Amino acid sequence: MATNFESGGSFTESMLRGTGGQVFTSTVILAVLGVLLLAMNRLGVLEENEPTLLKSRIPFCGHLLGMLKWQVGYFQMLSSKVPSYPAFTLRIFSSRIYVICDPSLIQAAYRNTKTFDFGSFVVESSQRAFNIGEQGMKIIRGETSPDYDPNGPFLNGNDGDSFLNENHRIMVESLSPGTGLSELNRGVLEKVAASLNVINGDAEAFGLYRWIRDVLTLATADALYGPQSPLNTDHSLIDCLWDFEDKMTLLMLNFLPTIIAPKAYMGRIRIKSAFTSFYANNHELTASKLIQARLACSQKWGFTPDDIANFEISTLFLATTNSVPTSFWQLSYILSSPTLLEQIRAEVESIVTRQPSKEDGKEEAVMDITRFQTQCPLLLSTFHETLRLVDAATSVRAVTKPTALSSPGSSLSYTLKSPSVIQLPSGITHTSPAIWGPDVLEFNPRRFLPSTKSSLDKRTRQAQKQGYFPFGGGKHLCPGRHFAMMEILAFVAGVVVGFAVDSQNDETFRVPDMAFQKLGTAVRKPVKDVEIKLRKREGWEDVRWRFDSVGEGTVDFKALVGEDGE
């Protein structure tokens, strides 16, 4: 089955206009058209039970042009035209792209790691985005492994002996609940508290987004790399990182980078230089256990110091580029509603203990991070609702052999050909009225409250659970989700309770417009920054902030992130 969802004249008509009636010209054009139409017909034929084909008015490359124009939003645009389609197929030249829209099928795709591969995309992006040398790429492709078989599975299988698999295991182990995650959380929250404590009693004016960007980037880098973090000694590297983030997709073209993306190109060079010095001076000895383990893994597999230094921009990129805009949007939504602001302040104040410091007697405000889950349900609900609205990440997988995609408990089933690509756009399910109701595009701070979810029928509750996946899914579920969520919640909670935030331009704080979302980004950014005045709240002028685990409490990270099986 094929659907042409675009309006306008036919391709044949547009080609024949302006021929002037010349027989020879017309004959040539008709001959060319015959070949093209024959090719189009062949390309348009799908095998039985493949997802429905959506045709473009422009043959062969129309969908490619659409993706270049609308980027992350293109799949949402297509899905909105055929909202009843659980999945559909796009053809770009001879290639197939399967766009999966149904929540249960998306989760089934995430679970299938045998025939749906993510590693090939990691390999390709490593060379293009992070400038890894050819010898380093052989290591990344698994070609230096003793188990390497050129005719065997990619990266020597999902659990095979390869650098990427070992590095992934290190990331998962270090960022899962345990001593490694506790160390990282302690480090990042100490730095966040220090940034809040330097705000003086007078109102300070600055851009809210840029302030959050600088605070969280520095805090994250310090937690990962320790006191000798290059960003601690040279704050201009913050701009380098975000310049790289802004134009990374252009760098991946590998075409005249100094001309089409000069700031990103120079930012990458400067960060590489900083980390070359970092490792040459053995500063990793004071870094986190995660960084030490990754360095040992990289050296074991034979990466050069140049490649190791190049890796670090990817680490900073992954650790900051979603946390920063998410913090901005959650804080913006809260600040825009005085009633919501007061309700969340009351929640957070219940987990803050004010007491004299044992060190110097100065009053401390100690926030117990173990009680977010039990005492701050509205804060948590606004976090998830913020992600639902601003996160539109698209996960991608390669189909390595023909397979059936189906979901337990559902009659839906499709045949997927190989080679082809699967796209799993969260923006489709995150903004689906069929899943979230008629207010799907509105910020509802109570949407993720336990009481709200329990009032839903079983089918809707299941659809929302499967259709909300801001952290991805399957084997490659974001390993840093627990770290990021704690950083965001603590920062937002500290600002809400300890400070008054006023817009410099309006009497009331307004949520800014969202910018166009480019390929390669997950969380949207504002069109422009919000100029604010930040001052300490009355009654909180002289406190010093600290985030800690008070008493015997522990953080239930699975419940916090929403993986508690509800």
In this predicted model, which residue has the larger pLDDT, 157 or 162?
A: 162
**Residue 108: which H helix or E strand, with range?**
helix 103-111
Tell me the pLDDT of the chain averaged across its residues.
88
Q: What is the pLDDT of residue 20?
A: 42
Q: How many helices (H) and strands (E) does the chain have?
A: 26, 15
pLDDT band at 66; cut points 50, 70, 90: very high
Q: What is the pLDDT of residue 154?
A: 66
Q: What is the pLDDT of residue 150?
A: 82
pLDDT band at 1; cut points 50, 70, 90: low
Nearest in space to 453 (alpha carbons), one of 445, 464, 442, 443: 464
User: How far is Cα 311 from Cα 301, in angstroms, rounded to an integer?
Assistant: 14
Q: What is the pLDDT of residue 24?
A: 39
Task: Return the sign of the alpha-carbon dihedral for residues 487, 488, 491, 493.
Answer: negative
Q: Looking at the predicted structure, is the pLDDT value of residue 8 above 60?
A: no
**Range of weakest confidence among 13-22, 345-354, 461-470, 513-522:** 13-22
In this predicted model, which residue has the larger pLDDT, 411 or 274?
A: 274
Q: What is the pLDDT of residue 121?
A: 81
Q: List the structure tokens of 99.
A: 């766009």
Q: What is the pLDDT of residue 158?
A: 61
User: How far is Cα 184 from Cα 46, in angstroms, rounded to an integer?
Assistant: 50
Q: What is the pLDDT of residue 552?
A: 64
In this predicted model, which residue has the larger pLDDT, 237 or 9?
A: 237
User: How far is Cα 279 from Cα 309, in angstroms, rounded to an integer?
Assistant: 8
Half-sphere exposure of 311 (CA within 13 A, CB side): 21
In this predicted model, which residue has the larger pLDDT, 37 or 410?
A: 410
Q: What angle do CA 72, 78, 82 make, to 5 degrees?
A: 145
User: How far is Cα 63 from Cα 73, in angstroms, rounded to an integer?
Assistant: 12
Q: Looking at the predicted structure, is the pLDDT value of residue 468 above 70?
A: yes
| Average pLDDT score over residue span 331-358 | 95
Q: Looking at the predicted structure, is the pLDDT value of residue 35 above 60?
A: no
Q: 375-393 as b/e, with b when 16 or more CB fall inside 10 Å?
A: ebbbbbbbbbbbbbbbbbb
pLDDT digits (tens, 9 = 90+) for 262-293: 999 999 999 999 999 999 999 999 999 999 99
| Average pLDDT score over residue span 314-333 | 96
Share of the chain above pLDDT 70, in %: 90
Bond prior to 526 in cis (omega within 30° of 0): no
Q: What is the pLDDT of residue 219?
A: 98
In whole angstroms, what separates CA 551 from the centre of its chain? 34
Do 313 and 268 touch, CB atoms closer than 8 A?
A: yes
In this predicted model, which residue has the larger pLDDT, 71 or 39?
A: 71
pLDDT band at 551; cut points 50, 70, 90: low
pLDDT digits (tens, 9 = 90+) for 106-134: 999 999 988 998 888 888 888 888 989 89
Of these ranges, 163-177, 334-348, 360-374, 466-480, the one predicted with the greatest mean pLDDT is: 334-348
SS3 assignment, position 159: coil
Query: Sheet containing 87-92: which strands, arranged edge to edge?
Result: 2-4, 52-55, 87-92, 95-100, 420-425, 394-399, 116-117
Round the CA-based radius of gyration of the chain to a whole number and report it. 26
Half-sphere exposure of 315 (CA within 13 A, CB side): 24
| Average pLDDT score over residue span 215-219 | 98
**Residue 455: which H helix or E strand, with range?**
none
In this structure, how many other beta carbons lie within 10 angstroms of the beta carbon of residue 138? 14
Q: What angle do CA 489, 448, 342 make, to 5 degrees?
A: 55
User: How far is Cα 534 from Cα 405, in angstroms, rounded to an integer?
Assistant: 52
pLDDT band at 45; cut points 50, 70, 90: low
Q: List the structure tokens of 322.
A: 């979603």
SS3 assignment, position 354: strand
Instruction: Report CA-CA distances (Å) from 309 to 163, 280, 302.
Output: 16, 10, 13
| Average pLDDT score over residue span 29-53 | 58
| Average pLDDT score over residue span 248-263 | 91
Share of the chain above pLDDT 90, in %: 70
pLDDT band at 375; cut points 50, 70, 90: very high
pLDDT band at 160; cut points 50, 70, 90: confident
pLDDT band at 554; cut points 50, 70, 90: confident
Overall pTM surpassing 0.85 (yes/no) = yes
